[in-house]
């Protein structure tokens, strides 16, 4: 049975909800769609979105221990609409006092800017490139370069990477793989209750 599956939102526990809501609204540009007391476990919860058709894409909930030695969140990634947005976010966010700049990179299939947010969760802002290279792939990039110069430098490096292919070829391959995975899942008999 074919089906569609999408990841639509993520929620994290935070130690300082007002500080984190401020960062993600003022700096990143999310809007608070709702906020109030948590219905289970006490504390408070805030629902944030950048899509008027989605009530929330990002949830911040109190409950993270302030003395937690590390973030259990590997990474949260946000797709941007183009290189000008990526450059503007990189410029603005790296000047925030409680944010650590982890640097802009090319993954071959994406241009990314990484940071640690005020509670040290790794966040990525990225855009797709027209290419694919096998992952993991990481090379530093200079987002201060003029757009044409930046794209040319990235393209030169990725074309020299073994396994390089245009993004359209990779998408067609992934469509086949997903169809095969869906077939395998559909071949299993449903559980009887």
* Every domain of the chain and the residues it spans: 1-65, 72-185
pLDDT given at position 108 = 96
Whole-number average pLDDT of the chain: 90
The CATH topology of domain 1-65 is 2,3-Dihydroxybiphenyl 1,2-Dioxygenase; domain 1 (3.10.180)
pLDDT at 154 over 50: yes
pTM of the complete model: 0.82
| Fold agreement (1-65, 72-185) | yes
* Share in percent of the chain as helix, strand, coil (round to 5): 30, 30, 45
End-to-end CA distance of the chain: 19
* CA quadruple 37, 39, 42, 48: dihedral sign: negative
Region of poorest pLDDT, from 14-18, 91-95, 177-181, 189-193: 189-193
Whether 4 shows a pLDDT value over 80: the answer reads no
User: What single string gives the DSSP state of each residue in 140-156?
Assistant: E--TTS-HHHHHHHHHH
- pLDDT one-digit tens code per residue, 81-108: 999 999 999 999 999 999 999 999 999 9
Statement: residue 58 has pLDDT above 80: yes
CA dist 24 and 17 (Å) reads 11
Q: Which CATH number fits domain 72-185: 3.40.190, 3.50.30, 3.10.180, 3.40.50?
A: 3.10.180
Of 6, 12, 143, nearest to 76 by C-alpha is: 12
Strands (E), the chain: 10-14, 31-37, 44-49, 58-62, 76-79, 100-106, 110-116, 122-128, 131-132, 139-140, 165-166
With bands split at pLDDT 50, 70 and 90, how would you rate the model's confidence at 39?
confident
60 vs 33: CA distance, rounded Å: 12
């Amino acid at each position: 049975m074919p089906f569609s599956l999408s990841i639509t939102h993520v929620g994290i526990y935070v130690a300082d909800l007002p500080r984190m809501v401020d960062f993600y609204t003022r700096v990143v540009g999310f809007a608070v769609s709702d906020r109030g007391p948590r219905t289970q476990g006490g504390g408070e919860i805030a629902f944030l979105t950048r899509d008027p058709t989605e009530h929330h894409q990002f949830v911040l909930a109190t409950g993270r221990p302030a003395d937690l030695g590390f973030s259990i969140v590997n990474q949260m990634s946000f797709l941007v609409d183009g290189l000008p947005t990526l450059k503007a976010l990189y410029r603005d966010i790296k000047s925030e006092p409680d944010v650590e700049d982890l640097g802009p990179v090319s993954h071959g299939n994406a241009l990314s800017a990484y940071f640690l947010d005020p509670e040290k969760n790794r966040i990525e802002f990225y855009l797709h490139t027209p290419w694919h290279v096998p992952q993991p792939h990481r090379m530093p990039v200079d987002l201060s370069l003029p757009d044409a110069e930046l794209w040319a430098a990235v393209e030169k490096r990725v074309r020299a990477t073994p396994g390089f292919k245009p993004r359209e070829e990779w998408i067609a391959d992934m469509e086949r793989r997903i169809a095969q995975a869906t077939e395998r899942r559909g071949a299993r008999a449903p559980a009887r209750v």
